[in-house]
Structure 1
Amino acid sequence: MWLWSQSLATAAVVQSRADLKAVLTDPVRGWSNNTTLSFPETPSFMTATERWTVYNPPTYRAAVSPGTEEDVMKTVKLAASLKIPFLATGGRHSYSTSLGDCRDGLAIDLSQLKSIEVNKNAETVTVGPGAIMDDILNPLYEAGLMLQTGTAWCPSVIGVTLGGGVGRFQGMYGLVVDALESVRIVTAEGNVVEASPRQNQDLFWGIRGAGANFGIITSATYKVHRLRNQGNIFTVDFTFPTAELSSQFFKAASDMGRDLPDEMAGNAFISFNSKTNQACRLLITQTVSNWMYYGTEEAGRRAMKPLYDIVARGGQHEDYYVGWNKLMNTTSGGLVSAICRPGHTWDIYSLNIRRFDPRAYDRVFAKLTELYTKFPGARGSSIQFDFYPGRAMRSKPSDATAWPWRDALGFLNAGMTWTEGDAAAKAAAQALGREVRRDVAATAGYPGMSVFINYARGDEKLEQIFSREKLPRLARLKKQWDRNHLFSFNMGLPTRYP
């Protein structure tokens, strides 16, 4: 269980909503014209606080949507002085259950700070904390540039970065965090400092993998890359509608995943097949998979030949060529766009994988089929496997950043959901999520369970998220920059380790 301090939450000054509203709206605050305040009774409150997943969400008495960096600083100082817990959010896409420990707090909604500055000559992009991945795709593409990204377009760029930023381009360019050149960060004192390889180097090391433990980043600058192949990507959606074909796919994908070309990556979803006869147990579950190759179609087809061979035995495929800026929105027929819809219940169980075991994935397929059969209310649940290249990621020294899992070749995400009010489906889905995570961990190639911070559910041990090797240095940084645990609801670090 977590070791972080909950002192802020438990020692918060007891104030009514009316009291906090009076404090925030007092003219003495001097908020900028662009800053907005919202409260539970106002329509704008949902806009400022709505999350991607509503499972175990934080609760708020009020929300501040700063229009300036200065008002971010002001909000942090005010919340600290009132001993009110707070969370700062950009895309509000994090799904850690630890966020739910923030009760009756203050939301700091950073969505207005979504500036994007592309410097074509310097090959950099500077973004604000409100910019999501989708916001930067076209500006970079039109400038002939790209940034390695995650798989989904809806999380905030900075939020993805702070947890490492795994994705399909890490074979060529490394993690998103590896592109980070500098940040401006509001600290627990309410001051702004810069962190980079030249300033506050230790802090810069810590934020690259330890998430939001040290402050609120108000600006981040990244090194970007010139487009290859005119930015065109060959990508294929595969569908394997039976257990036998799915088993063949996972064997082929596991073999491929051990030594993927830098230009290639894939993911797969074991999911409910709503298009077949639901009474037919053999066809109730399917595996859908998307693979991309950043290069020519000819080279991509050669690299994906093992998958095409399986399709010839009864699967389906759809091939297409897309610009880099369109990849996220077209994957698997727009599946990511459906997943990105906010306001749904998702309970996520995740793992790092450095050794693939297709037999374990066959068992996952069978268990998910059983869940779908017995509990129709859980049929929205799906299991995702990622197969990513890692040469550029692994080329960095292990101590280059706080992100500890540079030997991972893939990832598991068990996204469990259920119909609201269906207690039996909820219990079964959560039990399966824990079971899948435990079973796959036994074959994943690590001594025990491991998961990086952006994928962590919140019930893991500190060592399973940050690694035993990184924790002493991270604890010293926590003590230096946030000894009172203002920033500790998102996988909070201790100030001493061990």
Structure 2
Amino acid sequence: MWVPQATLSLFAFLASRSLARLDGTKIAHDLQSILSPESAVFLLGNSSALIDTTPRFNVWHSPTYTVSVKPAFPRDVQKVVSYSRDKKVPFLATGGGHGYTGTLSALRDGIEVDLSYFNTVEVDKDKNLLKIGGSVRFRDLMGPVYAAGKAVPVGACPCVGMAGATLGGGIGFWSSTYGAISDSLSSLEVITADGSLITVSSTSNADLFWAMKGAGANYGIVTSLTYNIHDAPNGGQVMSADMMFPVSANGSLWEFVKSWVGKQPAELSLTISLLFDPIAGQFIIVTNIIYTGPLTTGHSIIQPLLNLQPLNTNISYIPWSEAPFAATYGGPANNCGKPTIMVPHAVNLYQVDTKALCDAVDYLNQTVPKDPALQSFVFAFTQYSQAGFKATEKKKSAFPWRDVVMYAQMDGIAMKADDVPAIDAFGKGFRDLLQKSNRKSKLEVYTHFAHGDEGAAAWYGEENVSRLRKLKKQYDPQGLFSFYNPV
């Protein structure tokens, strides 16, 4: 796997730091002596640590830890950061545990800062504000926000951490209406590399606020976040429509998606997923439509799909808080959080080229059936209305992808570790195949879908990199926060 020069420099830097690394028993003892009694410290390898700490979702290219600490209060997080900095022990904060970029493997024998105790959810319906702790997941906040008659953008998988998603921008079905999750962010409480606890907002540390909304993992540990929330449209009800088609229908499906480019309503999000059916020996296509307006209008939107006579349909009108659990036949929700060897690749698409996409599906049909290692791949193409993204000026945040037409994901799931090289090579090749049909000469990818080999310009936008690196030198000159797609 090709690794950018910047990442190689990071590896060399971390290797030099590891010379002074302490053993796990010493680290655990030191942390226990300085943290509050309410905090917990685990020497990894003990059975209790496996039960009481947040498991990682993806075990491909995962970081390794000697100690996991669950701080109880922000002051405890500050002490962990200061200790790690002074002792030159690498660390990583985790909320939902779903970051799956390959750059995380640069962290070896470090400290996991498990934010599980930062799990509060507070809804102020009068002020239209939501305040959450740094480990709150989508599933924890959706019910309270919905019950208040409000809406806030969330992602597709309910067990993913809201904070982590936000720091990379965050996308989901509400993005068609409200844009990136970070566009609804009002303020954050951030612990920086010098151990300070600071408020970050448009009026306090405004330069860092810009960076945190899209590249936030590079600048600190977030213990709480406050969002602007919105009156839920349509009484909080949405239509979720799942349909299953034979792979032969893919041309018609791409044409349906293409028909909405440039005129997709703010209430509509579309996803086309391709999955291999080992029994039939061929791909099937699952479409999911989420429409946040009236049911009658939603039905008229999906009528062209119904006219294609899908193999199966599942159309429901449900509270928006249930949509992530129901969408795509509940597949993402049912598998959310289960430890997996997953090799991700992705690319932002800026046009729907029907011929190129049909050719790509033909390529899948010709190659995947011949190699069992590739048959657990999930290929997902998601299209949101650009109206939500463009409601926020591009200069307001480091999240750059406001003109993407479709987000393409290729997640290769390995049944055994020996399959990883083949999956990795195939995913990269298919990513490059899609990129050739793009309107952009350079690869661009939503950072949370990234493989890890693309580089900062591809993750954060070429126009943002210089400013992000300047802020990195200001807020984290030692590079403590440099494991998740570093700038």
Decide which moves more: 359-368 or 458-467: 359-368
Superposition deviation, residue 369 in structure 1: 3.0
Task: Give the match for residue 321 of structure 1.
Answer: 317
Task: Give the match for residue 388 of structure 2.
Answer: 392
Structure 2 residue matching 1:3: 3-state secondary structure: helix
Task: Give the match for residue 496 of structure 1.
Answer: none
Q: CA deviation digits over 1:389-428, x for unaligned, max 9?
A: 111211322211111121112201100122214x3x4333
Contact 2:314-2:329 within 8 A present in 1 as well: no
Contact 1:2-1:460 within 8 A present in 2 as well: no
Task: Give the match for residue 39 of structure 1.
Answer: 43
Contact 1:352-1:408 within 8 A present in 2 as well: yes
Give the distance between the partners of 1:359 and 1:315, measured in 2 at CA: 24
Superposition deviation, residue 205 in structure 1: 0.6
Change (3 A) 1:317 1:258: farther
After the TM superposition, which segments of 4 or more aligned residues of structure 1 sit over 6 Å from their partners? none
Change (3 A) 1:34 1:367: farther
Give the distance between the partners of 1:103 and 1:377, measured in 2 at CA: 28
Unaligned 5+ residue runs, structure 2?
none
Give the distance between the partners of 2:28 and 2:422, measured in 1 at CA: 42
Task: Give the match for residue 20 of structure 1.
Answer: 27
2:81 matched to 1:76?
A: yes
Task: Give the match for residue 281 of structure 1.
Answer: none
2:423 matched to 1:429?
A: yes
Q: CA deviation digits over 1:423-479, x for unaligned, max 9?
A: 3x4333222211111111122322221012222211012211122211111111001
- In structure 2, give the amino acid aligned to 1:277: A
Superposition deviation, residue 49 in structure 1: 4.8
Instruction: Report matched runs for 1:46-65 at 5 Å.
Output: 46=50, 47-65=52-70
Unaligned 5+ residue runs, structure 1?
279-283, 494-498
Superposition deviation, residue 341 in structure 1: 3.1
Structure 1 residue matching 2:45: 3-state secondary structure: coil
Task: Give the match for residue 338 of structure 2.
Answer: 342
Q: CA deviation digits over 1:127-163, x for unaligned, max 9?
A: 1111011100101111111101121112111111111
Structure 1 residue matching 2:414: 3-state secondary structure: coil
Give the distance between the partners of 1:490 and 1:86, measured in 2 at CA: 11
Give the distance between the partners of 1:161 and 1:59, measured in 2 at CA: 24
Contact 1:174-1:393 within 8 A present in 2 as well: yes
Give the distance between the partners of 1:147 and 1:94, measured in 2 at CA: 21
Give the distance between the partners of 1:269 and 1:186, measured in 2 at CA: 39
Task: Give the match for residue 251 of structure 1.
Answer: 255
Task: Give the match for residue 449 of structure 2.
Answer: 455
Instruction: Report matched runs for 1:208-287 at 5 Å.
Output: 208-241=213-246, 243-274=247-278, 276-278=279-281, 284-287=282-285
Task: Give the match for residue 205 of structure 1.
Answer: 210
2:357 matched to 1:353?
A: no
Give the distance between the partners of 2:158 and 2:394, measured in 1 at CA: 28
Give the distance between the partners of 1:227 and 1:169, measured in 2 at CA: 11
Task: Give the match for residue 98 of structure 1.
Answer: 103
Contact 1:8-1:83 within 8 A present in 2 as well: no
- In structure 2, give the amino acid aligned to 1:208: K
Give the distance between the partners of 2:192 and 2:148, measured in 1 at CA: 33
Instruction: Report matched runs for 1:34-183 at 5 Å.
Output: 34-46=38-50, 47-183=52-188
Contact 2:343-2:420 within 8 A present in 1 as well: no
Contact 1:268-1:386 within 8 A present in 2 as well: yes
TM-score normalised by length of structure 1:
0.93
Give the distance between the partners of 1:129 and 1:390, measured in 2 at CA: 28
Give the distance between the partners of 2:66 and 2:260, measured in 1 at CA: 50
Give the distance between the partners of 2:202 and 2:216, measured in 1 at CA: 18
TM-score normalised by length of structure 2:
0.95
Give the distance between the partners of 2:379 and 2:5, measured in 1 at CA: 25
Give the distance between the partners of 1:57 and 1:426, measured in 2 at CA: 14
User: What is the RMSD computed on CA atoms of the aligned residues?
Assistant: 1.6
2:301 matched to 1:298?
A: no
Task: Give the match for residue 16 of structure 2.
Answer: 10
Contact 1:54-1:345 within 8 A present in 2 as well: yes
Task: Give the match for residue 479 of structure 1.
Answer: 473
Give the distance between the partners of 2:355 and 2:445, measured in 1 at CA: 21
Q: CA deviation digits over 1:60-105, x for unaligned, max 9?
A: 0101011111111111011111100011111110111000100011
Contact 1:9-1:84 within 8 A present in 2 as well: no
Give the distance between the partners of 2:360 and 2:117, measured in 1 at CA: 42
